[in-house]
Amino acid sequence: MLNLLWILLGGYVAGILLPLCLPRQPNAHIITATVPAIAATSAGVVLGLLGLTSSEPVTGSLASTIPLLTFAIRIDPLAAFFVLTISVAGLAASIYAIGYLQHFDGRASIPMLGSLFNGFLLSMTLVVLADNGFFFLMVWELMSLLSYFLVVSEHEKAAVRYAGLFYLIMTHVGTVFIILTFLIFFQAGGSFAFDTFRHPEQPLPESMKTIAFLMALVGFGTKAGIVPLHVWLPYAHPAAPSHISALMSGVMIKTAIYALIRVYFDFLGGQFPWWWGFVILVIGAVSALLGVMYALMEHDLKSLLAYHSVENIGIILLGIGAGMIFQTYGLKEFAALGLLAALYHTINHAAFKALLFLGAGSLLYATHTRNMEEYGGLLRRMPWTGACFLIGSVSIVALPPTNGFVSEWLVFQSLFLSFHIPDTFLKLMLPLAAAILALTGALALACFAKAFGISFLALPRSTHARHAREAPIPMRIGMALLATVCVALGLGPMVVVPLLDRVVAPFTGVSIENQVLALDGWALATVDVEFSSLSPPVLALLLGGLAVLGLGIVAAFGGFVKRRYYKTWGCGINLTPRMEYTATGFVQPIKRVFSSIYQPTVKLETEFLQESQYFAKRRRFEFHVEPVFQKYLYDPVLAFVAALAGRLRVIQAGSLHLYLTYIFVTLIVLLLFAV
């Protein structure tokens, strides 16, 4: 495995350096950036699979002259799983970039984009491999900075600069809490080595464990995008190039899920009071529901997908929260099921969300807009993109036989097993979370019926849509790869579950592979085998058989039906694209139902003809939803900070002597406290 690791590292380093060393030749820059990335991510896929099947963790370290810092890595099943997840999405994005980077010729530096792209993939991989707290913080910060520079690739746009600044501030606020978390473990163990975090010289008291739990939740939750720390996602993810958006939404936010599992189940030993799991469960439920609700109101396709990342992080946290609650009461098999479901949804979300962002990038490439209201009729013009986007849409709304269905089914089962918990309150709360998840699924179905229908069906609504052409072949290959992964993960749980069981078993102390797989692996069952079971391959065969049967009936009896073609009746008026159902109209009923949460701003201005006040000459409609947390939480905080900064400007007298006095007084105060 170490040889594969060297290939991975060498490929990424080559992809960082080679584009910057060549003369100005866009095609050469694209090749030198993407080919090494393809080699590195391919090695990462193999490395991840080998790490999942290895009997012992593989470690390596390199000493440094910096105190407390060791460049240590550890490939255990958890790290290997996330290396595999990062590499699969990275491989598809690297192939896709061969065609997509041409979109930026003349608009951004292609060598710099290629170099940053490879550095970003490398930093995410090192985050999940790091085995030293100091080293982890270094590569975590590197990942944040590189992603920031990728977000502001088109920095000449004011909206992009704002999105980048917002993201940079939020990610560094999270980093502060992560540092505090690691300092708590350092204080107990006297070292930043993760092994001392697991086995500290002085066990942490319960109060310090609680502080570490909360600090990690805020720090890593900011990167994951949990509510209310999610506000940066709808700004940063749409602003980045689409293949970067696919990586940020598909895998970067999953590094935070990795870190939460590492801290809670590894460093803290998997021992929790009941309310820790309950807090995770509540945050997951709220994130899932609000994420999909705000996604429904978006007409910017990439912003819509960004909000769905909040939703799916919530679903992952529902599985983790249920696992933590079961672990508290010693129900290890059910805890393992919850954690396994969360990890299954983690890789599933990486596949279908990266696919959807790549699909959105293809639409942007062809139409030069992200506004769904200007799409329409694109399925005829972009059939490959439409087919891949449809697979991603079916996956994200958890319809069989795709991957989202399997992992959400497992999450549901883990929540419904709450009747085994002796606490009455939690017996009620887990099914309530399941009900919220069901509502989330229904809203997600409505959202992607809108996204696919408005974008690909009916007539083109703009000149860009009428002249759209299919994406280049490399972009189609990248999307097709992820579409295949979505279907494979949905049809092959008999392969996925044993691998995930190897990740979960060390943390829960029990293996559930034989209890989850039934009928020689052809069916999924919960740990409580009398509760429910499901066979995804058989379900897929039934659905396929019904489809073939329907087509057969049509073919058999279609010859006796006389076909006649007529124009659609439009009350004597020729139909135009202006008469189509719009994205705004599609969500109007949902907006009314949840108006107390959305608090929409609606403006309707009508200009009448001079000859008669009964006939309208022109109408103007504006609809805007302002996110509640930004309006009532972040905006007041920013206003307070700005006001405070304005008052503190008085100390900026421009005098060097005065500034030296400030420093001197501060040092004296610190010395007094130290003494």
Q: Does residue 241 have a pLDDT over 90? A: yes
The pLDDT confidence band at residue 572, using thresholds 50, 70 and 90, is confident
- Closest by CA to 378, choosing from 446, 298, 451, is 451
Q: Residue 605 CB: number of other CB atoms within 10 A?
A: 9
Gap between the Cα atoms of 4 and 54, Å rounded: 14
Q: How many domains does the chain have?
A: 3
Write the Ramachandran bin of 460: left for phi over 0, alpha for psi from -120 to 50, otherwise beta.
Answer: beta
Among residues 568, 591, 614, which one ends one of the domains?
A: 591
- At 25 the pLDDT is 73
The pLDDT confidence band at residue 592, using thresholds 50, 70 and 90, is confident
Q: Are residues 670 and 644 in the same domain?
A: yes
The contacts of residue 254 (CB under 8 Å, 6+ apart) are 82, 85, 86, 224, 346, 349, 350
Q: Does residue 98 have a pLDDT over 90? A: yes
- Specify the range with the lowest mean pLDDT, choosing from 8-17, 25-34, 91-100: 25-34
Kindly write down the DSSP assignment for every residue of 360-417, as one continuous string. HHHHHHHHS--BGGG--SHHHH-HHHHHHHHHHHHHHTT-TTSHHHHHHHHHHHHHHG
- At 559 the pLDDT is 60
- At 102 the pLDDT is 84
Q: Are residues 403 and 518 in the same domain?
A: yes
Quick check: is 277 in a domain?
no
Quick check: is 662 in a domain?
yes
Average pLDDT over residues 473-493: 95
- At 577 the pLDDT is 79
Q: Does residue 673 have a pLDDT over 70? A: yes
Q: Are residues 470 and 504 in the same domain?
A: yes
Gap between the Cα atoms of 21 and 28, Å rounded: 11
Q: Are residues 403 and 501 in the same domain?
A: yes
Q: Are residues 549 and 480 in the same domain?
A: yes
Q: Does residue 130 have a pLDDT over 90? A: yes
- At 530 the pLDDT is 66
- Closest by CA to 304, choosing from 315, 295, 314, is 295
Quick check: is 374 in a domain?
yes
User: Residues in the chain, how many?
Assistant: 675
Q: Are residues 421 and 566 in the same domain?
A: yes
| 627-654 pLDDT, tens digit each | 788 878 888 888 888 888 888 787 777 7
Q: Are residues 645 and 618 in the same domain?
A: no
Provide the mean pLDDT of the chain. 89
Quick check: is 337 in a domain?
yes
Q: Are residues 606 and 649 in the same domain?
A: no
Quick check: is 138 in a domain?
no
Beta strands 517-518 and 70-75: pairing type?
unpaired
Average pLDDT over residues 526-545: 82
Q: Are residues 462 and 517 in the same domain?
A: yes
What share of the chain in percent tops pLDDT 70? 97
Helix (H) or strand (E) holding 436: helix 424-456
| 411-444 pLDDT, tens digit each | 999 999 988 899 899 999 999 999 999 999 999 9
Q: Does residue 529 have a pLDDT over 70? A: no
Gap between the Cα atoms of 73 and 122, Å rounded: 13
- At 675 the pLDDT is 59
pTM of the predicted structure, to 2 decimals: 0.93
Q: Does residue 322 have a pLDDT over 90? A: yes
Average pLDDT over residues 477-500: 94
Q: Does residue 471 have a pLDDT over 90? A: yes
The pLDDT confidence band at residue 258, using thresholds 50, 70 and 90, is very high
Quick check: is 437 in a domain?
yes
- At 645 the pLDDT is 83
Q: Are residues 585 and 668 in the same domain?
A: no
| 292-302 pLDDT, tens digit each | 999 999 889 99
Helix (H) or strand (E) holding 72: strand 70-75
Sign of CA dihedral 643, 648, 649, 650: positive
Q: Does residue 560 have a pLDDT over 70? A: no
Average pLDDT over residues 315-337: 94
| 152-176 pLDDT, tens digit each | 988 888 989 999 999 999 999 999 9
Q: Are 180 and 208 in contact (CB under 8 A)?
A: no
More confident residue, 131 or 579: 131
Q: Are residues 363 and 333 in the same domain?
A: yes
- At 558 the pLDDT is 66
Residue 539's domain comprises 325-591
Quick check: is 529 in a domain?
yes
The pLDDT confidence band at residue 576, using thresholds 50, 70 and 90, is confident
Look-up of token digits 């080595």: 193
Q: Are residues 610 and 584 in the same domain?
A: no
Quick check: is 202 in a domain?
no
Q: Does residue 501 have a pLDDT over 80? A: yes
| 356-378 pLDDT, tens digit each | 999 999 999 999 999 998 998 89
- At 652 the pLDDT is 78
Q: Does residue 1 have a pLDDT over 80? A: no
- Specify the range with the lowest mean pLDDT, choosing from 126-140, 405-419, 486-500, 584-598: 584-598
